[in-house]
Amino acid sequence: MVSYVVRFCLGLALLVGAGSAFAQEAKERYLLGEGDKISIQVFDEPDLTLDAQVGASGVINYSYLGDLRVAGKTAQEIEQDITRLLKDGYLVNPSVNVTVEEYRPFYINGEVRSPGSYPYQPGLTLDKAIALAGGLTDRASKRKMYVVPASSEDQKQIKAKMQTKIAPGDIISIREGFF
């Protein structure tokens, strides 16, 4: 009995560790885009600390360095860019940290209790998005769920299942079902 409990606890610890590793990996691959809010901090340089929202141009204005293109890059790539630029005549060994403070939203409409926009979260799936929107209404169809990917140029709806991955800017539609 004791060895079973120890094995169960070790297995649970491995699962929890794997889950946090997955969340960290998802954050590292997240590409910034319009609507994301980021925070830039340079250790021991409060004048170089900045909170900014990425606009339609995909560029932010950063002290001393001017306009920086951030859209389409990860937070780690931006850290490397700023570190490289600050080393070029400003600081000897800058320590830069870029974090996403708020992700751009995804949208959900139709037969959910609270339709609207919600901030994206790494690892988001359709079932989690529905939960954020207060769950399905009594009239919701579990077979008529669609996603229009933000990356889709033709705005074509794709049939979705509960485990479908949701990306920032996606539009989710839950249709009404008839028994």
CATH of domain 105-176: 3.10.560.10
pLDDT band, residue 179 (cuts 50/70/90): low
- pLDDT, tens digit (0-9, with 9 covering 90-100), for 154-170: 889 999 999 999 999 99
Q: How do the domains of the chain map onto residue ranges?
A: 1-29, 37-102, 105-176
Contacts 24+ apart (CB under 8 A), 79-87: 82/40, 82/42, 86/42, 86/48
Question: Contact 129/80 with Cβ under 8 angstroms?
Answer: no
- pLDDT, tens digit (0-9, with 9 covering 90-100), for 39-50: 999 999 999 999
Return the pLDDT at 64.
84
CATH 3.30.1950.10 fits 37-102, yes or no: yes
151 Cβ contact partners less than 8 Å away, ≥ 6 residues apart: 167, 169
**Equal fold, 37-102 vs 105-176:** no
- pLDDT, tens digit (0-9, with 9 covering 90-100), for 101-145: 999 999 999 999 999 999 999 899 999 999 999 999 999 999 999
